[in-house]
Amino acid sequence: MLKRTPLFEAHRAAGARMVEFGGWEMPVQYSGIIEEHHAVRQGAGLFDISHMGRFMVRGPHASAFLQHVVTCDVTAIPIGQSNYGLLCKPDGGIVDDIFIYHVPDEFLVVVNAANRDKDWAWLQNHARGFDVELEDRSDRWAMLAFQGPNAEALLVHAEDAETSELGNLPFHGVALTSMFGVNVLIARTGYTGEDGFELFFDAPNAEMIWARLLALGAPGSVKPCGLGARDSLRFEPCLALYGHEISETINPYEARLGWVVKFDKGDFVGRETLAAIKARGPARRLAGFEMVGRGIARSDYPVHALSGERVGHVTSGMPAPTLGKPLGIALVPTALSAEGSEFDVIIREKPVRARVMKMPFYKPRYKKA
C-alpha cells in the first residue's frame, strides 16, 4: 500500500495527477510540468516534499558519529548552518546523498524518500559504540520547498514579525521562526538551482500552511508544483538524483562529487577505498551532453562509442525547458567525458549522435551574499 503525505487530500482536491514514487503516492503535476518549471525559474513554486526522511541525531557523540558515517566535515558546519554530504559504503558506493542541518543541541539529517528505511537502518547499525540518540521524525513533521527568485519577497509576509529570521538567513542557513502562528524550522536550501527555502513543521499544520503559502502575493503568484517539475529543475543545474547519477554502484568521483569527500577530517566509512580511487582516477565519469542528431535521450538508454561498442548509459535525459533543447547526463569512460567528445545514444535501436558539453547546463542562482 502506497504511503501518503499529510497533504494528499489537498493535492487531490487541487486536481493534481498522482503517481507512485519511492513507495509514496505523490503529485507529479498540477497545471503542467513545463508551466510549473517556468514558474519556479521566473517567480515562485511550492513543493510538498514530506515524503523525504527526517532524522534527528543528538547526544555527546552526535558530531563524532556523523563524522564517522558521512564524507563531509561535520565539524565545519556551525550551529545555524547546513551542508551536503554522502553516506558511502566501504567499497565507495553511495548509500545516499543527504543534507545535514546543525541546530542547537542536535543535527537534522534529511534523506531521500525511497531510501528512508535503508538509511535509518544504516545509521542505527553504525551508531554502535557511540553515545548518540537517533530519532525518526519523518512522520511527525511535514516538509515543504518554497523555491524561486521571488520566494524571499513573498515568504517574508508569512513570517510573524516578532520572530522574523528570513531576511538575515544566509545560503544554507537554518533557523527557528514562526509562520501563521506556527513554529517552523526554515532553511535556505533547495533542489531547483534557484534561491529558495525548505520548511519543517508539525504535520497537523500542513494543510493550513500549504494553503496560506499558495495565497501569498497576487493570485497565481505561487504555483503548486509536482515531482515532474522538481526533476526538470534539478536536471538543468545537474543536481544528482539517487538511482540515476548516484547509487550504491557509483562512487563520488564517478559522480563528480569528489568535492564532498574530505580526507583531512580523519577516518570515515569508505575513506580508504575513496582515497585509492582519487589517487588513480575513476575509470568512468558522468558527462553532460547535447543531442547532435534528432532524438531525446532518456534514463537508461545505452551509450555506444563511435566504433559501435556499448560503453555506458544515460542517467538522466529530457528536453530542458529553460534551454529549449534536449540534453542528457551519461556515465561513460573517463576519456569520453571531456568536453567536445562525441558518442552515440541508442534511441529506438538506432544510434543518435551526442556531444559532451560543460556542466552544469544551467548556472544556479543561489543567494550567497
Tens of pLDDT along 20-64? 999 999 999 999 999 999 999 999 999 999 999 999 999 999 999
Pinpoint the alpha helices (H) of the chain.
8-13, 33-42, 62-69, 116-126, 151-155, 206-214, 227-235, 271-280
Which tens digit of pLDDT belongs to each residue from 191-204?
999 999 999 999 99
pLDDT bin (cut points 50, 70, 90) of residue 164 is confident
Task: Give yes or no for residue 7 having a pLDDT over 80.
Answer: yes
- Cα torsion 302, 306, 307, 309 to 10°: value is -10
Task: Give yes or no for residue 369 having a pLDDT over 80.
Answer: no
Last residue of a domain, one of 134, 158, 185: 134
At 201 the pLDDT is: 98
Q: Is 43 found in the same domain as 57?
A: no
At 181 the pLDDT is: 96
Nearest alpha carbon to residue 236 among 192, 175, 174: 192
Q: Is 227 found in the same domain as 144?
A: yes
Q: Is 148 found in the same domain as 104?
A: no
Which tens digit of pLDDT belongs to each residue from 258-317?
999 999 999 999 999 999 999 999 999 999 999 999 999 999 999 999 999 999 999 999
Last residue of a domain, one of 134, 156, 183: 134
Nearest alpha carbon to residue 152 among 38, 41, 43: 43
State the CB neighbour count (10 A cutoff) for residue 179: 22
- Give, to the nearest 10 degrees, the angle between helix 227-235 and helix 33-42: 60
State the CB neighbour count (10 A cutoff) for residue 91: 12
3-state percent breakdown (helix, strand, coil) of the chain, nearest 5: 25, 35, 40
Q: Is 154 found in the same domain as 85?
A: no
State the CB neighbour count (10 A cutoff) for residue 71: 28
At 98 the pLDDT is: 98
Examine residue 247 and state whether it is found in any structural domain, yes or no. no
At 162 the pLDDT is: 79
d(CA 217, CA 115): 36
The pairing of strands 223-225 and 342-347 is unpaired
Nearest alpha carbon to residue 310 among 282, 338, 336, 328: 336
Q: Is 229 found in the same domain as 162?
A: yes
pLDDT bin (cut points 50, 70, 90) of residue 163 is confident
The pairing of strands 350-356 and 284-291 is antiparallel
pLDDT bin (cut points 50, 70, 90) of residue 125 is very high
Nearest 5°: CA angle at 313, between 289 and 70?
Answer: 90
Q: Is 153 found in the same domain as 44?
A: yes
Q: Is 39 found in the same domain as 178?
A: yes
Give the contacts of 319 (CB within 8 A, at least 6 positions apart). Answer: 296, 325, 326, 327
Q: What distance lies between CA 56 and its chain's CA centroid?
A: 19
d(CA 299, CA 296): 10
At 24 the pLDDT is: 97
Examine residue 64 and state whether it is found in any structural domain, yes or no. yes
Q: Is 221 found in the same domain as 144?
A: yes
Task: Kindly state the percentage of the chain with pLDDT values over 90.
Answer: 97
* Segment 180-188 mean pLDDT: 97
Q: Is 116 found in the same domain as 62?
A: yes
Examine residue 365 and state whether it is found in any structural domain, yes or no. no
pLDDT bin (cut points 50, 70, 90) of residue 177 is very high
Examine residue 278 and state whether it is found in any structural domain, yes or no. no
Task: Give the chain's domain count.
Answer: 3
At 161 the pLDDT is: 80
Q: Is 212 found in the same domain as 93?
A: no
Last residue of a domain, one of 79, 108, 134: 134
Locus of grid cell 524550522: 185
Nearest alpha carbon to residue 13 among 190, 260, 211, 239: 211
Residue type, 313: H
Examine residue 38 and state whether it is found in any structural domain, yes or no. yes
Q: What distance lies between CA 326 and its chain's CA centroid?
A: 22
d(CA 220, CA 186): 23
At 244 the pLDDT is: 98
Examine residue 32 and state whether it is found in any structural domain, yes or no. yes
* Segment 325-329 mean pLDDT: 98
d(CA 250, CA 241): 12
At 16 the pLDDT is: 98
**Mean of per-residue pLDDT scores for the chain:** 97
Backbone dihedral angles phi then psi of residue 361, each to the nearest 5 degrees: -70, -35
Q: Is 153 found in the same domain as 48?
A: yes
The larger pLDDT score, comparing residue 358 to residue 164, is at 358
Q: Is 37 found in the same domain as 179?
A: yes
At 368 the pLDDT is: 87
* CATH number of the domain residue 202 falls in: 3.30.1360.120
Give me the half-sphere count of Cα atoms (radius 13 Å) on the Cβ side of residue 361: 27
Indicate the SS3 state at residue 247.
strand
* CATH number of the domain residue 323 falls in: 2.40.30.110
At 323 the pLDDT is: 97
Q: What is the pTM of this model?
A: 0.97
Task: Kindly state the percentage of the chain with pLDDT values over 70.
Answer: 100
Domain range for 153: 8-52+139-235
Contact 74, 63 (CB under 8 A): yes
